[in-house]
Amino acid sequence: MRTRGLVITFVAAGLVVVGVGAAAIVLTVPPAEAPRSQGTATVAPAPTATAVDSTPVTAASLSYMIEEEKLAHDVYVLLGETWGANIFGNIAASETTHQNLLVPLLASRGIVDSRSTELGVFTNTELQALYDRLIAQGRTSYREAIQVGVTIEKKDIVDLNGAIALEGQADVVSAYQRLLAGSQNHLAAFERQA
């Protein structure tokens, strides 16, 4: 059986379905079977039923977004411990809520939640590198730690807007809109501290 690849790239400008970018998730999508011919009638294969229809875009998007929310949480936990500022602890708690909002969406679609339970460990190499860089930056000064918060929330906003633009499933769009509102509030809180 031949397959075709769909490349989904997450970049700073958002979620883009293209074949460029260093941080790409490659999913293999089998082509639809050709209809089988029986005499003069054409019979198409029956569709496969699932609990919730899911697309490769939705699966990749949900997997990425839940881990991006984990990144925000983990960074804020460490920076909160480093600087003792309430803003980090408060927003880290909100990031836990954001992750919990996405868990049922993954489960209902049979998508494996690949998040590590270990603080600061990520399956996505782009997010791991970003985490490492942001922690190093945030430990240099309180002012830089606040800038890290601004950077994370701006990235979340861009990525969520991109994901919303490409998503066709109403429950996922609704969840992303809630995350977006949260990220906008977090950004405003960090910008007030800057």
User: In percent, how much of the chain has pLDDT > 70?
Assistant: 72
Instruction: Report pLDDT for 153.
Output: 98
Confirm if 193 and 180 have CB atoms less than 8 A apart. no
Neighbours of 66 (CB within 10 A): 22
Give the residue with greater pLDDT, 55 vs 78. 78
CA atoms of 154 and 120, how far apart (whole Å): 20
Residue 67, pLDDT above cutoff 60: yes
Give the residue with greater pLDDT, 69 vs 47. 69
Confirm if 36 and 45 have CB atoms less than 8 A apart. yes
CA atoms of 42 and 160, how far apart (whole Å): 42
CA atoms of 153 and 156, how far apart (whole Å): 5
Instruction: Report pLDDT for 53.
Output: 53
Using one digit for the tens of pLDDT, what is the confidence trace for 11-34? Answer: 333 333 333 233 333 333 333 333
CA atoms of 155 and 172, how far apart (whole Å): 19
Average pLDDT over every residue of 100-113: 96
Using one digit for the tens of pLDDT, what is the confidence trace for 49-65? Answer: 334 556 888 999 999 99
Residue ranges per domain, the chain?
Answer: 56-193
194 — pLDDT class (breaks 50, 70, 90): confident
Q: Which two tokens stand for residue 169?
A: 């499933």
Domain 56-193, CATH number (from 1.20.1260.10, 3.40.50.10490, 3.40.50.10860, 3.40.50.170): 1.20.1260.10
Confirm if 153 and 75 have CB atoms less than 8 A apart. no
CA atoms of 145 and 63, how far apart (whole Å): 26
Q: Which two tokens stand for residue 155?
A: 């990235």
**In terms of Cα–Cα distance, which of 161, 122, 115 is closest to 15?**
161
**In terms of Cα–Cα distance, which of 89, 80, 66, 36 is closest to 156?**
66
Q: Which two tokens stand for residue 57?
A: 């875009």
Instruction: Report pLDDT for 31.
Output: 33
Confirm if 29 and 56 have CB atoms less than 8 A apart. yes
Residue 117, pLDDT above cutoff 90: yes
Average pLDDT over every residue of 127-145: 98
Question: Which CA distances in Å does 166 have to 76, 138, 140, 150?
Answer: 29, 32, 37, 25
- pTM here is 0.74
Helices (H), 26-139: 56-83, 86-108, 125-138
The contacts of residue 48 (CB under 8 Å, 6+ apart) are none
User: In percent, how much of the chain has pLDDT > 90?
Assistant: 70
Using one digit for the tens of pLDDT, what is the confidence trace for 138-188? Answer: 999 999 999 999 999 999 999 999 999 999 999 999 999 999 999 999 999
Residue 111, pLDDT above cutoff 90: yes
